[in-house]
Structure 1
Amino acid sequence: MEEEVYDKIFDELINFLKQSHDVFGLKEHKSKHLINEVPTAALITGVNMPDHNTIYSNLFNQLKDGITPYIAQLASKDCPNIKSLLAKLVGQLMQTSDMLDDDEDEIDIKKVPCTMSVLCSWYHHTTMKTSPVKKQSKSPRKRLSKAAASDVSFPQFPPIVVIVEDLEGFTSPVLQDFIIMCSQNIKQLPIVLLFGIATSVSVVHRLLPQHVSSLLSIEKFQSKSSTEYLSEVIQMTLLNPDHPFRLGHKVFQLLLDLFLFHDFSTTSFIKRLQFAMMEHFFSQSASVLCCRQQDVASRVQKLNKDDVDMILQLQSVKRYIPHLKGEKQVLIKKNLAEAKIAITEMANVMFSHDTTFVPIMHCLHIITRSLPKHPLGKQLRELYAMCLEMSIVNTEEYQHANNLARMFARDELISFLGQCEVKLKSCSKLNAEADKLDDFRTRLIKLGDSCNDFVEEEEKAEPEPIEETKETGRREKTTLRSLQKKLMESAKKSRKLTKYEALRDDCMTYLQEMFRNYLKCPQSMPLYEVYYCTAVSEVRHHINASPRAALQTALSNPHYYLQCKCCKTDSGRMVESFPDLCIIYKLHLECGRFINLFDWLQAFITVVKGGSSENEDENTEEDQVLHARFIRAVSELQFLGFIKHTKKKTDHVARLTWGGC
């Protein structure tokens, strides 16, 4: 699924990398690189850092599938200087099956000079040599891997792709030296640079002076924003009728908030979605029915009486049963076979609702996404979240959007109806609705120049309703809102409608009725708990973790995680069976800003020895072991950020945190 998300940008990148040195080795190549420019692709990936590894790994795999076997990935943490960069570059490029003998697993890169001249010699040796019959490897595993590698056909002079994953992390001198080296050897090596940029292309000019940046022939590739990738992921998972699992309103909103306010990572969103699915199937016993529609009947037949009773006790089922006939209600409670038939029917009702829910929601989004201030949201996920919470037609936002939609121009309405018709035709159950929208669209087109003609009285389909008021003794209170409503109604009655306005009102009335019938809140459907994950507290507890609270709980009460009897004590007490780090932590809570290491050591020894006051030689082996344990525990506490070294007092450490367990 991740490859499908990044498919378009990968196609453009691969075409650029393939054509960058398409004439290498020919006479045209020398004339093409008279100015020694290095082909460079600037890939704008965005700030969604967890997704970068996925992007580069997928791109690496696609390049290996027929473009080039010579790919190097460079990260700033591994390249603090030009020497380390060249070592990484040469090491990754030369570790190929062509350079390995039958008895070698890898080349000892320490024995190879890491220079560009060595790289040029290696490249021409591997590409210009003839291809005699290779010796069979003694190892079947190596022979199999080489055979698999030989199945992929590469061009005679495949390009050398150097992927710089995080350009912002590299220092300017290292980049300058590397680019100058690549430019000087571009006629001998078909090098292509791929810069991974999280911000903007201007970072290239910020890191490189003009005489270096002029050596690059840069082409920009802008990946879609992470929010667009998120919409595609939601469309392929939660809005796909082939996948019965869904998220409840609160869980869906939680995952959206974590995405929008934390990391903008679709990879993390997918992992959270997987965890929510795991939590749903683990905690909800009735989730055994969360399967494809054709498998529901067989699974229902395998249910025993306890399982059926448990399903009948679900809140959504309890709300649905009273709507059935009286005789059927009695049979469901008494007859197991009838109960299974009813559960199967309820599951089919849920599947039918999900099948029609998504296309109709798409239609509503098409009509309302361009409205001013976007009352129903600009993105489909916003509308979907609102539909999960309650019936959308009963919200104030929908009423406001409906009023704005009744002012569409004719061309806009024709375009929207055409898009809605395409969405409805994707579902066979909505063919009648699609035909009705096509009829409205045809009538709007046929109006032509007569759309501004007024409707005659006899052409009105329905007479205006006459309001009947009851005579009461009390006078109705007039408010600003009621007065505004009365004035608008009177203005509508006094003003004659044009033919287009009358047809538009009929069309919007039909759409409103369609939305009311099909966009019912999923919470009102039977077996809602089976197909929708609603365990928001459990999902939030595990996904939106509090590391500081968990760390303090583990250090102050190790029994909470270890679950051992020896560590189970009253709150505040310490026993010798506690882990050394827990003892050190609880002792440091009793100290002030500065902690004397010698006193801390003596207190630690006292606790570990169980408070024994026997006089023992200080140089015994046991004391040396205790000293080592103490030093290790203090180092771990420093690593966790609770203490630090200080120069204000000799043999003291400073405490960095306050507050106990």
Structure 2
Amino acid sequence: MAPSTTVADLPPSSTTDSFNSSAAAEENDIRPFFVLHKASSGSKSTATVKAKRRIESPSPKLAKRSEIESAGEEKGGQFFSTLRFKVFETVWSKIDNTIQGVLRDSNSKVFCGIHDWIWESFESIRSSEALSLSEAVRSYPVLSQPSSKQLFTALVLTRNLEMVDDLSTFEDLGSHLKSQGCHVAKLSSTDFSAKNGVGGCLRGLLRQFVMPTVDVADVTILASWYRESGNDKNPVVVIVDDTERCSGSVLSELILILSEWAVKVPVFIITGVSTAHDAPRKILSASALQRLCATRFTLSSPAERMDAVLEAVFLKPCSGFTVSHKVALCMRSYFLCQDGTLTSFVKTLKIACLQHFSLEPLSIMLEHFCQDNQLPGEGTALLTEATMKHAFDLPSVTRNKITRSTCEMLPQFLLDLQRMPNPWSIVVLCIYEAGKFDKLRLLDIFCETLDPEARYLKYFSPPAILNSQSNVSGRTSVIRRVLRKLRDLSPAQLSSLLKSWEKLTAEFSEINDKVMELHPFMRTVEAAGQRPGIPTSPKKHASRSHSKLEKELKAMTDKVSTVIEFMLREYMKPVETVPFHEILCFKNVDKLQSALLGDPRGRIQSDLLESHNILHCMCCSQRGTTLLPSMHDTSILYTLAQEHAEVINLHDWYQSFKTILSPRNSKAKTTLKSKKRKDRCEEPEAPAEASIQARFCRAVMELQIAGLIRMPSKRRPDFVQRVAFST
């Protein structure tokens, strides 16, 4: 971007202003995030310093607030924009750590099982036969048993349609085995290509085990490294993350080679399969399959991991951030459309969190929800007069007719907002425990319970369950399915449900008391089912006992339904019904959808037409609709293209572009300015014709690469065609 003025065009007061600007810039250098912002004038900074000096012995909270307010006024909201971004990093860091912890816990049992299997197999190999160094490096040592050619292989079923989630899983598995002393090498499906052959696989193993500079595919190097360096006390593990995408012939050849050295170098192969455990039968040759001694392991399904992440992030104390009903439905739809990958859901969640902090000024208060030792009310010290006014103008506040009589009301509302999710999340988890018997997912229950317009008493009262056929949002209600499933539960299932409810409601006495009242009825049902029969009339007594059990079971089901109705009526209050929920709840579903789907071509067009809003240069910020030579060539050319229809004449387009870069009266103005201002620098000369043509060609090429125009054809070589039109 060319400068708008030269040194010769500075006003007479430029010396004083530049001195004040440099002084203000030196003061702003104390805070690194002020460097890129426009420096304030000297008068404002002086007045601010005097105002601070007039305050005598303020309280720490008031002093901190006055400093933040003055900084926010000087920087025009830039301070709070930077603060919101820092709070976003804090909140997302806690969410991301929570998600990673959940994934580690879900895979820890399988990882420990694989580790135990490796060491048990390794000990059996070491006890069978011990080789000296000279025997180990021979090409083909004599094998005493046919089983010595067997390779211990772990078939890990991931049950994912896409490998994007499995990549991190196998990375964590490799790190876990390395921490336990194993020698681990990881090979991807690209290493098993027909182009590289088995030599590429061997070189990849040697570079990870021996040294990165090895360029020879020789198994004896691996055997020498394993025996000479004292590495024979630990097993060698080779991880293949996606077996089904590997070349079958290359993988089979590698298995045959490693099996010949199984006694000398005990290699354990871990293969990842996504469809079924017998997937290697369709890939490997018969001779390679005979060399494998396979053991099966199964990871948790994507839906199970999704439910665990959802429970940890939204239903348990985490960061305070949450989403609205419409946003949750959008995230659910995106999760299902992306083949159910957890990576897509985490990506959507991060975008929603970032959009919330960029749109909501009061989102800075979420930092105090992440800190258990601070009350949310302490965050009000960061609020200015403008943000306080914004807080009491929120739709949830005006809808509940809350007036700003005193600022002390806000901390109490924030404290209630922090405590609110606890009973609501307990009710959601109780419904989820009952929905497990009907194979319901927590994501579906979570989306439905967030609906602020749901009328649970009208739709889900026990008398209306049998004959109710209405739908919610065009589909059968999840909660109604839970209540209907209760009628089909056995006494053992009901007993298990009550035990899980008792654990979930242990810290909430109001619901726990209702659950404890069901235990006497449960004991009656169990006694009716275990009553001994009469020897003289077994059939008649069995029929009478069965009817007695059905009667007791129906009464028990009605009691459980009543407890669910009580929980829905008293504690099922979605976050969107609470005042000030906009502070922690993201609701703009349109922003989320546009960020997920994207519109790159439309974004390019708007950026080219309004480049001054992005570059923030002084020469173009006040131009209005006038095109200036200091603008970017591509932006000038695309703005000129708006004057044409679908077809643009290249000659006319070039002449308009040339007029912008070299105005006709530029020479006259240059002569007058050079005579009047001899002591100042001269203006830059107009560009030459060849330079203008080169810049024009480059700008046209950039528009073609961006997909906005189509180059001339043989039939019409003097015209280009517009492909996209700005709206």
TM-score (norm 1): 0.69
Q: How does 1:3-152 map to 2 (within 5 A)?
A: 3-28=104-129, 34=147, 36-45=149-158, 46-76=160-190, 79=193, 80-82=195-197, 83-95=199-211, 108-110=213-215, 113-127=216-230
Q: How does 1:152-171 map to 2 (within 5 A)?
A: 156-171=232-247
Q: Does 1:223 align with 2:299?
A: yes
1:549/1:14 Cα in 2 relative to 1: closer, same or farther (>3 Å)? farther
Whole-angstrom distance in 2 between the partners of 1:624 and 1:364: 72
Shift of 1:6: 2.5
Whole-angstrom distance in 2 between the partners of 1:606 and 1:188: 78
Q: Does 1:516 align with 2:569?
A: yes
CA contact (8 A) 1:584 1:604 kept: no
Q: Structure 2: which 5+ residue stretches go unaligned?
A: 1-100, 131-142, 469-479, 533-549, 664-687
Aligned position for 1:310: 390
CA contact (8 A) 1:553 1:560 kept: no
Q: Which amino acid aligns with 1:88?
A: G
The one of 421, 428, 434 aligned to 1:361:
428
Whole-angstrom distance in 2 between the partners of 1:47 and 1:585: 46
Q: Helix, strand or coil for the counterpart of 2:270?
A: strand
Answer with 506-515 or 382-391: which moved more: 506-515
Instruction: Note the aligned Cα RMSD (angstroms).
Output: 4.7
CA contact (8 A) 2:710 2:722 kept: no
Whole-angstrom distance in 1 between the partners of 2:692 and 2:379: 63
Q: Helix, strand or coil for the counterpart of 1:71?
A: strand
Q: Does 1:407 align with 2:487?
A: yes
1:428/1:115 Cα in 2 relative to 1: closer, same or farther (>3 Å)? farther
Q: Does 1:299 align with 2:369?
A: no
CA contact (8 A) 1:320 1:526 kept: yes
Aligned position for 2:456: 393
Shift of 1:267: 2.9
Whole-angstrom distance in 2 between the partners of 1:205 and 1:427: 53
Aligned position for 1:530: 583
TM-score (norm 2): 0.63
Whole-angstrom distance in 1 between the partners of 2:255 and 2:424: 55
Q: Deviations for 1:144-172, whole angstroms, at most 9, x for unmatched residues? A: xxxxxxxxxxxx43222222233333323
Q: Deviations for 1:616-657, whole angstroms, at most 9, x for unmatched residues? A: xxxxx99699779958985x77876789999x98999xx999
Q: How does 1:242-321 map to 2 (within 5 A)?
A: 242-290=318-366, 291-292=368-369, 295-296=374-375, 298-299=377-378, 302=381, 306=385, 307-320=387-400
Q: Helix, strand or coil for the counterpart of 2:296?
A: strand
Q: Helix, strand or coil for the counterpart of 1:425?
A: coil
CA contact (8 A) 1:421 1:437 kept: no
CA contact (8 A) 2:483 2:561 kept: no
CA contact (8 A) 2:514 2:563 kept: no
CA contact (8 A) 1:585 1:637 kept: no
Q: Which amino acid aligns with 2:423?
A: T
CA contact (8 A) 1:576 1:608 kept: no
Q: How does 1:318-337 map to 2 (within 5 A)?
A: 318-320=398-400, 333-334=404-405, 336=406
CA contact (8 A) 2:378 2:411 kept: no
Q: Which amino acid aligns with 1:251?
A: V
Answer with 507-516 or 384-393: which moved more: 507-516
Q: Structure 1: which 5+ residue stretches go unaligned?
A: 96-106, 129-155, 323-331, 452-496, 614-620
Q: Helix, strand or coil for the counterpart of 1:189?
A: coil
Q: Deviations for 1:189-225, whole angstroms, at most 9, x for unmatched residues? A: 1222222333334442333221222222232322222
Aligned position for 2:558: 505
CA contact (8 A) 2:365 2:583 kept: yes
Whole-angstrom distance in 1 between the partners of 2:711 and 2:250: 35
Shift of 1:231: 0.7
Whole-angstrom distance in 1 between the partners of 2:237 and 2:721: 47
Shift of 1:269: 2.1
Aligned position for 1:204: 280
Q: Helix, strand or coil for the counterpart of 1:295?
A: coil
1:160/1:367 Cα in 2 relative to 1: closer, same or farther (>3 Å)? closer
Shift of 1:605: 11
CA contact (8 A) 2:377 2:414 kept: no
Whole-angstrom distance in 2 between the partners of 1:51 and 1:282: 29
Whole-angstrom distance in 2 between the partners of 1:352 and 1:409: 34
Q: Does 1:441 align with 2:525?
A: no
Shift of 1:92: 1.6
Aligned length: 548
Aligned position for 1:325: none
Q: Helix, strand or coil for the counterpart of 2:264?
A: coil
CA contact (8 A) 2:157 2:297 kept: yes
Q: Deviations for 1:301-334, whole angstroms, at most 9, x for unmatched residues? A: 6266735443333333344456xxxxxxxxx744
CA contact (8 A) 1:48 1:226 kept: no
CA contact (8 A) 1:289 1:530 kept: yes
Q: Deviations for 1:255-311, whole angstroms, at most 9, x for unmatched residues? A: 222111125222332233233223323432333443346522551562667354433
Shift of 1:116: 1.2
Aligned position for 2:268: 192
Q: Helix, strand or coil for the counterpart of 1:389?
A: coil
